[in-house]
Amino acid sequence: MQSFNQFLIEDAKKVKGMDIKKVVDDEEWQGIRKSLIGNWVGNHKTNVKTLRHYFEKNKDKPIAVRRVLNVLTGSVHRTGKTKGQKETDELRKDVRIHWRNLLNEPYDKNDPKYKTGEI
């Protein structure tokens, strides 16, 4: 498990307990989120690239990581519209693992959520 300083862990735990409306209340994020709509079936690689860039740029900001996690586990994914998209699955797995590490919480590597192909 990756190690983070106590301040970052405490911030991640605070963000975990926040209302999602507060988490996503950010102008830059809303622009990114709107750009994703309608593209998961026909243009998912562009969406993944956009989200991957945001995630990599903000890995040390728990609120940003939670935003990406939220969009990658949202209804468009739960309803199967992204099933079989290797790139989407890989990003979702990476974000989930990083989120658990930020929280300083263990995860089961054998749990399907932490593998590709599972929501």
Q: Which of 74, 8, 1, 79 is nearest to 36 (CA)?
A: 74
Average pLDDT, the chain: 92
Residue 114: CB atoms within 10 A of its CB come to 16
Q: How confident is the model at residue 26 (pLDDT cuts 50, 70, 90)?
A: very high
Q: How confident is the model at residue 48 (pLDDT cuts 50, 70, 90)?
A: very high
| Average pLDDT value for residue range 86-110 | 94
DSSP conformational letter for 39: -
Q: Could you tell me if 77 and 119 are in contact, meaning their C-beta atoms sit under 8 angstroms apart? A: yes
Residue 91 lies in a domain: yes
Residue 96 lies in a domain: yes
Residue 1 lies in a domain: no
Query: What pLDDT was estimated at residue 113?
Result: 84
Q: Could you tell me if 119 and 93 are in contact, meaning their C-beta atoms sit under 8 angstroms apart? A: no
Between 16 and 83, the higher pLDDT residue: 16
Residue 24 lies in a domain: yes
Between 99 and 112, the higher pLDDT residue: 99
Q: What global pTM score does this model have? A: 0.91
Full residue range of the structural domain in which residue 51 is found: 6-114
Residue 18 lies in a domain: yes
Residue 83 lies in a domain: yes
DSSP conformational letter for 15: H
Residue 119 lies in a domain: no
Q: Which of 99, 25, 103 is nearest to 69 (CA)?
A: 99
